[in-house]
Amino acid sequence: MHGTRILEEADRLMTVCNSCRYCEGLCAVFPAMEMRRSFSDGDLNYLANLCHSCGACYTDCQFSPPHEFNVNVPKTLAIARADSYAAYTWPRVFSGVFARNGLVVSIVLALSVAAFIFGFAAFNDRQVLFGVHTGPGSFYKLMPHNAMAALFGAAFLYAIVALAMGVRAFWRDIGEPIGTLAGPNSLWQAMKDAGQLRYLDGGGVGCVNEDERPNDRRKIYHHFTFYGFILCFASTTVATLYHYLIAREAPYPWWDLPVVLGTLGGIGLLIGPAGLLAERWKRDPDLVDQTRTGMDVAFIVMLFLTSLTGMALLLWRDTAAMGPLLALHLGVVFSLFITMPYGKFVHGIYRYVALVRYARERQMMGHGT
């Protein structure tokens, strides 16, 4: 007996697939499945989080609908995966709200924070908000650096704590001692697999779309998004080090490292999320969980808006538009941080943790990488 109907269905499918094994070369799900004869709830959640929903095992399957076995692994694992995100959410009360209204919640929060900063600055001194400010420290005329660091540091810390609690719940659910997460070989192997999106290629042919012609576009847009995010994070880290270690204040000239990293990352975060949204609309509805659109779309849209407002700020920071643009950008970034543990961002974290376990299991079984 399993905790939910979808886990019952996932168990049924994995039992069928374990007898068939036709798809064992497609991704990590099938080799991980073959290491088991029975499946606990935690095992099925682990397999669900290894799956990239590429669709290859659906189009290749001789038992997919209309066959009476009704085997649809991508959709079943997609629903189980989304259920697992909700089950691991901390605090739990936010999961349902966000799954249904993720995009609305994110945008309302972003606009509220932007309006608060905008209103606060306008109330204090309209000249500060609509004046032209250039050179180091000009951003902090709108909001003092310490206030900015405290607000965004707290939001970031909240996101880290909520994500860590989620990982702890996932790791417990799959029945592993938390210490195994620290195995350097598994961590490194999982990092390489995640960095290459190794299993997001349907066994080499790409992801399946509505027309059943596989291609690599989903993987490419994922790469733009992932590396864009890493570059933007690196830009913020370098800027923080500049501020505290060598007392250099933002904004920096266009050739300086934080701006170069942020611009490259920003371009990635415009192309990647826009491409992922476009690909999402082309996907075969039989392959995806259409009930969780709010959660899926919210994070992608917020990444895109973070980049769009950041690039607009870079372009017009020496004009009177700087104040309103900075307020808007800060509102979007704040909302992105706060909603990160409740949106699609978590899929990257849980998939990485699942890959760590997969690498560890492969090593224990004496398999290569």
Site residues (vs ligand SF4, CB under 6 A):
16-17, 20-23, 26-27, 29, 51-57, 60-63, 71, 73-74, 77, 199, 202
| Closest approach of ligand SF4 to the CB of residue 208, in Å | 8
- Given the complex with ligand SF4, which of 21 and 145 has the nearer CB atom? 21
Angle between helices 217-245 and 257-282 (to 10 degrees): 150
Tokens of 96: 């349902």
By C-beta, is 162 or 220 nearer to ligand SF4? 220
Q: How far apart are CA 241 and CA 239, in angstroms?
A: 5
The full DSSP string for 288-324 is S-GGGHHHHHHHHHHHHHHHHHHHHHHHHTTSTTHHH
| Residue 78 vs 330, nearer CB to ligand SF4 | 78
User: What is the per-residue DSSP string for 208-266?
Assistant: --TTS--BSHHHHHHHHHHHHHHHHHHHHHHHHHHHHHS--PSSPPTTSHHHHHHHHHH
Q: How far is the CB of 84 from ligand SF4 (least distance, A)?
A: 15
* Residue 358 · residue 50 · CB < 8 Å: yes
| Nearest of 130, 141, 334, 129 to residue 251 by alpha carbon | 141
**Cα pseudo-dihedral 330, 332, 333, 339, rounded to 10:** 140
Peptide bond into 31 cis (omega under 30): no
Q: What's the closest the beta carbon of residue 192 comes to ligand SF4, in angstroms? A: 18
CB of 358 to ligand SF4, least distance (A): 12
Q: Which is nearer to ligand SF4, 74 or 258 (CB)?
A: 74
- Return the number of the residue (55 or 323) whose C-beta is nearest ligand SF4: 55
Closer Cβ to ligand SF4, 202 or 323, answer by number = 202
Nearest distance from C-beta of residue 69 to ligand SF4, angstroms: 7
Residue 15 or 240: the one with the smaller Cβ distance to ligand SF4 is 15
Closest approach, Cβ 363 to ligand SF4, in A, equals 21
* Nearer to ligand SF4 among residue 74 and residue 166 (C-beta): 74
Least distance in angstroms from the C-beta of 24 to ligand SF4 = 7
Token code pair at residue 299: 């994070």
CB of 176 vs ligand SF4, minimal distance in Å = 21
Closest CB to ligand SF4 among residues 41, 201: 201
Tokens of residue 48, six digits: 């669900």
User: How far apart are CB 263 and ligand SF4 at their closest, in Å?
Assistant: 33
Three-state DSSP at 207 gives: strand
Q: What is the DSSP letter of 27?
A: S
Q: Which of 88-105 are b and which e, b meaning 16 or more Cβ less than 10 Å from the residue's Cβ?
A: bbbeeebbeebbeebbeb
